[in-house]
C-alpha cells in the first residue's frame, strides 16, 4: 500500500492542496496558517488521533477542533458545508483508490 505522500507527494499533506489548505480555501481558519505542516505547540493530536490513528499507515485519523465562531448554532450549517466541501475536494484529489 502506498501512502498518500508517496503517491501524490507532499502536496497531499502540506500547502494549498492539503486537507488544511482546502479547509482554508473554503473559509475556515487553520493552524498553522502557513500550511507548512509543522506542529503547533499545545496541539498534540488529542484523544481521537491517539486512540484511532495507527502507526506506519500515513494519515489514518484526524481530529478537528472548532472555535466558538464555527460552533455557534447560527453558523453550524455553514461550518458543516465548508468542511464537507474540503473533504469532497480532498477525496477527489487523493482518495481515488
φ, ψ for residue 87 (rounded to 5)? -60, -45
Q: Are 65 and 42 in contact (CB under 8 A)?
A: no
Q: Is 85 exposed, middle or buried (0-12, 13-18, 19+ CB in 10 A)?
A: middle
- Residues 6 or more apart whose Cβ sits within 8 Å of residue 61: 48, 49, 51, 52, 53, 54
The pLDDT, as a whole number, for residue 1 is 41
pLDDT of 54 reads: 65
Mean pLDDT confidence for 55-77:
81
66 compared with 46, residue with greater pLDDT: 66
What cell was used for 3? 501512502
Lowest-pLDDT choice from 28-32, 47-51, 66-70: 47-51
Count of beta carbons in the 10 Å neighbourhood of residue 42: 6
Does residue 19 have a pLDDT over 80? Answer: yes
- Please give the residue that has the higher pLDDT: either 11 or 42: 11
Write the DSSP symbol of residue 30: -
Does 77 or 51 have the greater pLDDT score? Answer: 77
* Model confidence at 79: pLDDT above 50: yes
Distance (Å, whole) CA 61 – CA 74: 28
**pLDDT at position 44:** 60
Amino acid at each position: 500500500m502506498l501512502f498518500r505522500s508517496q503517491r501524490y507527494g507532499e502536496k497531499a499533506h502540506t500547502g494549498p492542496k492539503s486537507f488544511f489548505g482546502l479547509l482554508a480555501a473554503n473559509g475556515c481558519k487553520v493552524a498553522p496558517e502557513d500550511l507548512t505542516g509543522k506542529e503547533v505547540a499545545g496541539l498534540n493530536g488529542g484523544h481521537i488521533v491517539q486512540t484511532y490513528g495507527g502507526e506506519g499507515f500515513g494519515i489514518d485519523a484526524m481530529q478537528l477542533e472548532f472555535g466558538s465562531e464555527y460552533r455557534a448554532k447560527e453558523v453550524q450549517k455553514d461550518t458543516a458545508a465548508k468542511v464537507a466541501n474540503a473533504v469532497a475536494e480532498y477525496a477527489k484529489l487523493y482518495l481515488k483508490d
